[in-house]
Amino acid sequence: MAKAAKTAQKKDLKSAADAKNWSKVIKPVRSPKTGAYTFKEAIIHKDKVKDFLAQK
């Protein structure tokens, strides 16, 4: 296996630190017509999670 360049490792550390600020949120939504649940998925910033779950 070939060695990775040191500059690539520095970029990966920065993007990994930034990735910790994002979350995948899955919200169940009930259909008014059939009563079955569907799911809305989103990848959002961790500060906006409560806003996403509060909206209808």
Number of domains in the chain: 1
**Amino acid letter, 42:** A
Instruction: Identify whether 13 is part of a domain.
Output: no
3 occurs within a structural domain: no
Look up the domain containing 43 and give its range. 22-56
Confidence category of residue 56, pLDDT binned at 50, 70, 90: confident
Q: What does the pLDDT read at residue 16?
A: 75
- Does residue 1 lie within any of the structural domains? no
Look at residue 26 and tell me if it is in a domain.
yes
Please, is 51 exposed, middle or buried when counting C-beta atoms within 10 Å of its C-beta (0-12, 13-18, 19+)?
A: exposed
Share of the chain above pLDDT 70, in %: 80
CA 47 to chain centre: 12
Tokens of 50: 């409560």
> Is residue 46 scored above 80 in pLDDT?
yes
The answer to whether residue 32 sits within a structural domain is yes
pLDDT-derived band of residue 7, with 50, 70 and 90 as boundaries?
A: low
Report the alpha-carbon distance of residue 22 to residue 2 in Å, rounded. Answer: 31
CB atoms near residue 20 (< 10 Å)? 8
pLDDT at residue 35 is higher than 90 = yes
